[in-house]
Amino acid sequence: MKSANFFIVGILCSSLVACSSVHKPAPVVSLTKGKTKVSKKIHIKNNRYKVKKGDTLFSIAFSANKDVRTVAKINKIQPPYTIYPGQTILLSYPKKSNKTAKNTAQKIKKYTSNKPLNNKPSKKELDPPKQREYVQSQANKKTNDTNALLNKKVRWNWPAVGKVTRRFSIKENGYKGIQITNKTGTSIKAAASGIVVYAGSALRGYGNLIILKHTDDYLSAYAHNSKLLVREQQQVKVGQKIAEMGSSDASSVALRFEVRYRGKSVDPIRYLPKK
């Protein structure tokens, strides 16, 4: 009888263990305010890329070291640069075939050889008053553009407290930012006021990444975070906490901080205040 009881107890215990293993909860990424977008890594081939869920035009342009405005122009995408999964994004203009170039050259040759050169002034030329008006309008436009640029001057600040362990390199495969080392959970702050144009983990080698747009020309990037505390399209102020330092897609705990000017990497130290 006792042996039978032990046998029944044994079956019940094994059943409980089995049930507990079946209902073990899956790991969950927990963020304070926003959610990390989990998507496949961005892989550009032959200067084109197929959009996946979680991508933005800014993240694609950033990965390709291109100005987002250039990429938008190539693909005829208007602000706010909405893209869709499955859409193909070109990173450069398609090259014209030799056949097309040859046909164009033949047409030009035929046109120039059959018609005499006309040196007479065109009737469509601007008369002096209109010409002066045009020159003045161009001068005004240049002044307005300069004023707009001055009004958009970015005020920079350090994004994190810590030791600078890697610096910017101009070499082709060099480090395109600075690395600030500290402990896990160290506050990552916006280096300048702007808007979040990307918050996710789709860029290979950057881990949990935030990209901020400060002006039409300037972007800043914050990589390898343990937590992202902002969401896309959210406006942030200089010094606002946007993430926590971590080691996502990296071998050690540190912040990788980059500044891009018109799509190109520039040395962040040039913009940050001296310590």
pLDDT digits (tens, 9 = 90+) for 172-214: 889 999 999 999 999 999 999 999 999 999 999 999 999 999 9
Q: Is 211 helix (H, G, I), strand (E, B) or coil?
A: strand
Q: Specify whether the CB–CB gap between 66 and 81 falls below 8 A.
A: no
What stretch of H or E contains 255?
A: strand 254-261
Residue 8 has pLDDT above 60, yes or no: no
Amino acid at 86: G
Q: Domains for the chain: give ranges and CATH numbers.
A: 48-90 (3.10.350.10), 163-270 (2.70.70.10)
For 222, what's the count of Cα atoms within 13 Å in the CB-facing half-sphere?
30
What six digits make up the tokens of 13? 């215990």
CB 155 within 8 A of CB 193: yes
The partner residues of 225 in beta bridges, in order of sequence, read: 208, 245
pLDDT-derived band at 1, boundaries 50, 70, 90: low
The counts of H helices and E strands in the chain are 5, 12
Q: Which residues pair with 127 in a beta bridge?
A: none
Tokens encoding 50? 């197929």
255, β-bridge pairs: 180
CB 179 within 8 A of CB 164: yes
Phi, psi of 17 (to 5 degrees): -60, -45
The two three-digit tokens of residue 265, written as one number: 């990497």
Residue 12 has pLDDT above 60, yes or no: no
Q: ω into residue 80 within 30 of 0, thus cis?
A: yes
d(CA 65, CA 164): 24
DSSP category for residue 223: E
Enter the pTM of the model: 0.66
Would you place residue 94 in the very low, low, confident or very high pLDDT band (cuts 50, 70, 90)?
A: confident
Residue 50, burial from CB neighbour count under 10 angstroms (0-12, 13-18, 19+): middle
Contact indicator for 154, 192 with CB cutoff of 8 Å: yes
How far, rounded to the nearest angstrom, does the alpha carbon of residue 154 sit from its chain's CA centroid?
A: 18
CB 34 within 8 A of CB 199: yes
pLDDT at residue 143 is higher than 90: no
Please state, in angstroms and rounded to a whole number, the distance separating the CA atoms of residues 160 and 249: 19
- Computed over every residue of the chain, the mean pLDDT equals 78
